[in-house]
Amino acid sequence: MPISRRSFSIAAAGSLLAACSTSKEGKKFTVGMSQCNLGEPWRVQMNADVEAAAAKHPELKVLFKDAQNDTLKQRAHIEEFVSAGVDALIVTPKESQPLTEPIAKAYQAKIPVIVLDRAVVGDQFTTFIGADNRKIGRAAGEWLKKKLNGNGRIVELKGLMTSIPGQDRNQGFRDGIAGSSIEVIFEADMKWLEPDARKEMESALARFPKIDAVYAHNDPGAHGAYLAAQAAGREKDIVFVGIDALPQEGVAYVRQGILSATFQYPTGGAEAIDAVMKLRAAQTIPRQITLGSRVFTAENAAGGGEPLA
C-alpha cells in the first residue's frame, strides 16, 4: 500500500484493527510507551501527561517502559512491545540514529508509531510530534543578543549531540546570535544532565575570568551551571538561559532569579494520546505535528510567559 509522505493513510492499521476486533473482542486498545529515561523532571512530566490524557479514554491501556538512558535497552523495549502485539507505539527516543531501525521495523509491521520529542532519521514512522527546536534555539540567541546589547562572552552547554534537539538547539542559537559581536568562548556536551553541566561550567569558570552568559539546552543544565557559578561567587555576573520551562522547574527558577529566561518545550504527552485516538478511529493524521513554545522571563512569568513569534 503506498503511504504518502505527508499523511499516514490508516488503511493498513485499519485492517489490523479489523482483525483485532474479532480476536480481541472487548479488549482494551493497548499502547506501548517507550520512554528513554525518567531521570529528569521533564520526562516524568511527559509520562504523567500521557497517563492523564489516556485516563480520559477507558478503552485505552498504556504500558510504560523506561530505558534508563540506555539506547540498547530502549531498542529492546521497542522490540518487546512489537512481539507483545501492542496496537500502537509511542516512542521518545534517546538518540536518533540507533533508534531509527527498531522504530522502522515496528512501523513496517503495521503498528502505528508516534515518535515524540526527539526525532529519528527518515520517514518510517506514522507521525512525529514535537516543538521546533531550531526556532527555540534561534529565539534564545536573539533574546541573549538583545539582553547583552549584541556583545558578550557566552558558554554553551549542549544537550546530547547525537539527539536532534541538541543539534537543532545549537544550530538555531548560532543563527540567532549571527551578525553580533557575541562570542561563544566555551562549549561542551552535557548530555542533558545537570551534574555534567555543573562540571563543565566549573572548567569554564576556571579558564575564563569573564563570562557574561550561559546558554544551556535545558533547564537542568542551566541550573547546574548556576550552582557552579554560585560556588565560585560569580553567579551575579552571569545571565543564565535554559529550555523546558516546566512550572515547577524552569519557571520556578526564573521566579527565584536563578534563570533570566527559559523557553518552553512542551512534552507533547496529551497530543500523543490525541493522535492515538485519531488513529484508532481510522482518521488520517499529519506526518508532523509541531507544538508551540513560550518564553518566560522575570517580567512575564507571572502572566504565563509570551508565545514565540
Q: How far is the CB of 218 from ligand FRU (least distance, A)?
A: 3
66 binds ligand FRU, rule: CB under 6 A:
no
40 binds ligand FRU, rule: CB under 6 A:
yes
Provide CB contacts within 8 A for 209, sequence distance 6+.
Answer: none
Residue among 222, 253, 296, 276 nearest 86 (CA): 276
3-state secondary structure of 81: helix
218 binds ligand FRU, rule: CB under 6 A:
yes
What single letter denotes the amino acid at residue 81?
A: F
Q: How far is the CB of 64 from ligand FRU (least distance, A)?
A: 15
Q: How far is the CB of 304 from ligand FRU (least distance, A)?
A: 19
Q: How far is the CB of 121 from ligand FRU (least distance, A)?
A: 16
Binds ligand FRU by CB under 6 A, chosen from 42, 128, 186, 253: 42
Given the complex with ligand FRU, which of 199 and 234 has the nearer CB atom? 199
Binds ligand FRU by CB under 6 A, chosen from 65, 75, 77, 118: 118
Show the cell assigned to 292. Answer: 508551540
Site for ligand FRU in 145-164 (CB under 6 A): 159, 163
CB-based contact 81:89 (threshold 8 Å) = yes
CB-based contact 175:141 (threshold 8 Å) = yes
43 binds ligand FRU, rule: CB under 6 A:
yes
Given the complex with ligand FRU, which of 30 and 96 has the nearer CB atom? 96
Taking contact as CB under 6 A, which single stretch among the options 15-23, 26-34, 36-44, 279-287 is the one that binds ligand FRU? 36-44
Given the complex with ligand FRU, which of 40 and 87 has the nearer CB atom? 40
Q: With the C-alpha atoms ordered 182, 187, 191, 193, is the resulting torsion angle positive or negative?
A: negative
Q: How far is the CB of 87 from ligand FRU (least distance, A)?
A: 26
Binds ligand FRU by CB under 6 A, chosen from 8, 263, 265, 296: 265
Given the complex with ligand FRU, which of 30 and 264 has the nearer CB atom? 264
Binding track, positions 268-307, relative to ligand FRU; x by CB under 6 A: ----------------------------------------
249 binds ligand FRU, rule: CB under 6 A:
no
Phi/psi at 64 (5° precision) = -100, 135
Show the cell assigned to 231. Answer: 560556588
Query: How many residues lie near ligand FRU (CB under 6 A)?
Result: 13
DSSP state of 160: P
- How far is 307 from 217, CA to CA, in rounded Å? 19
165 binds ligand FRU, rule: CB under 6 A:
yes
**Cβ-based neighbour number of residue 76 at 10 Å:** 15
**Cβ-based neighbour number of residue 252 at 10 Å:** 17
250 binds ligand FRU, rule: CB under 6 A:
no
Q: Where do we find the cell 543563527?
A: 175
Q: How far is the CB of 243 from ligand FRU (least distance, A)?
A: 6
Q: Where do we find the cell 485505552?
A: 60
**Cβ-based neighbour number of residue 12 at 10 Å:** 16
CB-based contact 82:92 (threshold 8 Å) = no
Q: With the C-alpha atoms ordered 212, 252, 37, 267, is the resulting torsion angle positive or negative?
A: negative
**Footprint on this chain of ligand FRU (rule: CB under 6 A):** 40, 42-43, 117-118, 159, 163, 165, 192, 218, 243-244, 265
